[in-house]
Structure 1
Amino acid sequence: MARKKADPEIKAFAERPRPPASLFDAGNWFRRFMPAEGVAEWVSRALHSEHSPLYNADHQHLRDADVEFLWAAQENTRQMRRVVGQCEEVTFRCGAWQKGRQEQQMHEWFGRVPTYLITLDAMYANECSDIEWCALIEHELYHIAQKSDEFGAPAFTKDGLPKLGIRSHDVEEFVGIVRRYGIGAGETAKLIEASRRAPEVGHINIAQACGTCMLRAA
């Protein structure tokens, strides 16, 4: 019997980069972070290429973005929850020596100071399923959004590149992840379940009772 050709989507999953075994060596306690080599290339190949079965047009504005990835073999918890990914704009709000140290570290890792850095839990990345890996990467990428101009249209730099910035969780990110990977569990599932129920108090625009919204509307 002829062997069935591998499905392109499965092939894309199989080529997913993984953290090196040396990162989990107990003797290297002082080396818990290292560049996630191959992840940026995987993102370009799997998510930005229109020929990929995993292509997502939502990330088109990131094709030329300066984004780097970092493995972290150190546990991170926040509000009693495990953090498996974090996206940030690389900035140094500190003194000259602290800034110099941090810039030197970035140059040693990446050969430059990238504009955006996505840190990934190496232990989670090593154990999670292919679908969970894709959802994690896309979730972090959704945090880098294209800014809008004064007319609400996508904003661009004078060089014609998208103007980017970090955004928090929003409906667009939820819709994108749910559309591609389903409801799953966690906050997204809670949001959808809540939307299916009748309002507990009644229909009202919560902005009318929000001090922050009032200030912005003033």
Structure 2
Amino acid sequence: MMDSPFIIPEPGPDHPANWYRRCLEYPEHVHLKDGEPHMAFLLRTDPLFESDRRILGAVHLPRVQGKLNRVFLWMVERMFGAMPDFLVVLDGEYWTAADDRHREILIFHELSHCVHATDGDGEPRYDDETGRPIWKLTGHSVEEFTSVVRRYGAWNDELREFVGAAGVRVDRGQGR
């Protein structure tokens, strides 16, 4: 039998939900605190690389389409006790070795992808049957290559805002 590619973290002081709850206290994630999405966490047992970059974490809306949809929903509900709104998958090796600060940064980053969906007028959307928020994922604030910025500078509004924010506080990997 094949070793499991994922582990459901055991309850305890190292469970990612502890950092999730900590991050809910930050104003950037008040929508998650107010909306109370069901979050589930998995640890990958093997590192994942995309374009030579190690992927430390990813957040997903746990949904599939097609004939296996009901099977998928049944399996996920059995694994987590209920269907999560978001599924956060973390690099288990990184998570185990990381200190509290780096764990918080990783969870904060992944939560930054989790947003309350809005309608065409920018109003928050809610499920008609349950009244619960409808959730969606959002991309990164800045998606650009270092080499492009090195060559052309902050060439658009998104990059200018990012560089301006970096000018306020530059974290060089030191402690708080």
Residues 1:42 and 2:18 are matched in the alignment: yes
C-alpha displacement at 1:125, in angstroms?
0.4
Percentage of matched positions with identical amino acids: 23
Could you say what secondary structure the match of 2:40 adopts?
A: strand
Aligned match for 1:130, one of 74, 90, 100: 100
Aligned match for 2:117, one of 147, 150, 154: 147
Q: Distance in 2 between matches of 1:42 and 1:198?
A: 37
Contact preservation (8 Å) 2:117, 2:124? yes
Matches within 5 A, 1:1-218: 30-38=3-11, 39=15, 41-43=17-19, 45-48=21-24, 55-63=25-33, 64-95=36-67, 98-158=68-128, 161-170=132-141, 190=146, 197=153
Contact preservation (8 Å) 2:55, 2:91? yes
AA aligned to 2:8 is: P
Distance 1:109-1:71 versus aligned 2 partners, 3 A rule: same
C-alpha displacement at 1:121, in angstroms?
0.5
In structure 1, the residue matched to 2:161 is none
Distance 1:198-1:44 versus aligned 2 partners, 3 A rule: closer
Q: Distance in 1 between matches of 2:10 and 2:26?
A: 22
Q: Distance in 1 between matches of 2:117 and 2:49?
A: 30
How big is each residue's C-alpha offset from its partner over 1:18-72, in whole Å with a ceiling of 9 and x where there is no partner? xxxxxxxxxx951231222444641454122xxxxxx212112222102111111
Greater RCO between the two (CA within 8 Å, min separation 6)? 2
Aligned length in residues: 150
Contact preservation (8 Å) 2:16, 2:107? no
Q: Distance in 2 between matches of 1:81 and 1:44?
A: 24
C-alpha displacement at 1:198, in angstroms?
7.2
Q: Distance in 2 between matches of 1:151 and 1:71?
A: 38
Distance 1:33-1:136 versus aligned 2 partners, 3 A rule: same
Q: Distance in 1 between matches of 2:105 and 2:66?
A: 34
Q: Distance in 2 between matches of 1:198 and 1:165?
A: 29
Runs of 5+ consecutive residues of structure 2 not aligned to the other structure: 158-176
Query: Normalising to structure 2: TM-score of the pair?
Result: 0.68
Distance 1:160-1:93 versus aligned 2 partners, 3 A rule: closer
Q: Distance in 1 between matches of 2:70 and 2:117?
A: 29
Contact preservation (8 Å) 1:146, 1:162? yes
Could you say what secondary structure the match of 1:30 adopts?
A: coil
Could you say what secondary structure the match of 2:77 adopts?
A: helix
Query: Normalising to structure 1: TM-score of the pair?
Result: 0.56
